[in-house]
Amino acid sequence: MSDFAANLLGWFRHSGRHDLPWQRPRTPYRVWISEVMLQQTQVVTVIPFFERFMARFPDIHALAATPLDEVLHYWTGLGYYSRARNLHAAACLIRDRHRGHLPASIAELRELPGIGRSTAAAILALAYDQRAAILDGNVKRVLSRYFAIQDWPGGAVEKRLWRLAEELLPEQEIAAYTQAIMDLGALVCTRRRPQCGICPVAGDCQALQAGIQADLPAPRPRRPLPLRHTRMLLLQDASGRILLEQRPPTGVWGGLWSLPECDPGAELNAWIAERFALVSRGYEFGRSFHHGFSHFRLEIEPVHAVVQPAPDRIRDAVNLYWYRPNGDNRRIGLPGPVRDLIENRFPYSEDHE
């Protein structure tokens, strides 16, 4: 066993995390759900979502048997909703192709939607104690500093990091080692203000020796994100219900129920009459706010109106739904900003990420 692995495992026994919800019990299903939730999301944020998700979907069969709308409902607020869509699709495949058992091979895991190389390896290591290297954000940071790799950890550099991650793997205690290296990045080798004084591998850390640990890993080259503009319409009927429209199954907020959106330059009376066969006597405009996505920023102008059906016109569609905010029994997925607009009517802050 390398000094890196031995020192890390020794530290993990007394300082690592041993009581996370997905560790009690540590089943393949619970590990899988947690690893998907933890993609680009911190542990402290994931824990309450994970516990609610497990209470409603305790196993693969329960997840596969539930309509996607309800799965998205339990994901609302966690973001990156393609993860939930992929989980549901993968659960159906596991039920149909693998008799409800999560595969225990890297090839079969990677055939499932939403499971890439690192997630598959984490499942194998944590759930099955198989020898597989992971390379999530925490591990990239640890290795970039330990080996003083000064380039952004993507592209060709990422390939080098994969090789290093595999070389450092011990022959035994794979599950403990995998959790340990994730914990090291999350608790000690943090993005800002790394605690090098208590790091179990600080003695051989090349970045620490060079005094550049705070500068690594190098940030991804940034490009300005384009800004898009939209209006979100809170169209409310006389009984207080709000009209929702289901988004296409792919793309931003795919499959979620959202407020109708129109171009800021559209004439509202004509637009909602043509689109939904509704009429309104007036509108209340809220303060615009921004919501950030990975590849663009969206400026949202909320507009509220009480509406009623247009005379002699009926508009009905399967992708429209009148939602009752304070008593709706149907469990549906809502994007975070949409949920907040419905609950609060208008935003209270300029930025809402």
Buried b / exposed e over 35-73, threshold 16 CB at 10 Å, is bbbbeeeebeebeebbeebbeebeebeebbebebbbbbb
- pLDDT per position as a tens digit, 225-244: 999 999 999 999 999 999 99
Global confidence as pTM: 0.88
Closest to 95 in 3D by CA, of 112, 118, 110, 120: 112
- pLDDT per position as a tens digit, 121-130: 999 999 999 9
pLDDT value for 345: 66
Whether 150 has a pLDDT exceeding 50, the answer reads yes
Closest to 230 in 3D by CA, of 254, 250, 258, 249: 258
What is the mean pLDDT of the segment spanning 89-114?
Answer: 97
Q: Which residue has the higher pLDDT, 325 or 97?
A: 97
Pairing assessment for the beta strands 297-309 and 227-236 based on DSSP bridges: parallel
Options 35, 158, 245, 299, the catalytic residue: 35
Banded model confidence at residue 142, pLDDT cuts 50, 70, 90: very high
- pLDDT per position as a tens digit, 12-51: 999 999 999 999 999 999 999 999 999 999 999 999 999 9
Q: Which residues pair with 246 in a beta bridge?
A: 257
Q: Which pair of tokens denotes residue 302?
A: 């909320």
Q: Which pair of tokens denotes residue 84?
A: 């939930």
Q: Which residue has the higher pLDDT, 199 or 220?
A: 199
Banded model confidence at residue 326, pLDDT cuts 50, 70, 90: confident
Q: Which residues contact 181 (CB under 8 A, 6 or more apart)?
A: 8, 134, 138, 139, 142
Gap between the Cα atoms of 8 and 124, Å rounded: 20
Neighbours of 12 (CB within 10 A): 22
What is the mean pLDDT of the segment spanning 324-349?
Answer: 82
Domains of the chain: residue spans and CATH: 3-215 (1.10.340.30), 227-344 (3.90.79.10)
Based on the residue annotation, tell me whether 35 is a catalytic residue of this protein.
Answer: yes
What is the mean pLDDT of the segment spanning 311-332?
Answer: 80
Whether 350 has a pLDDT exceeding 50, the answer reads no
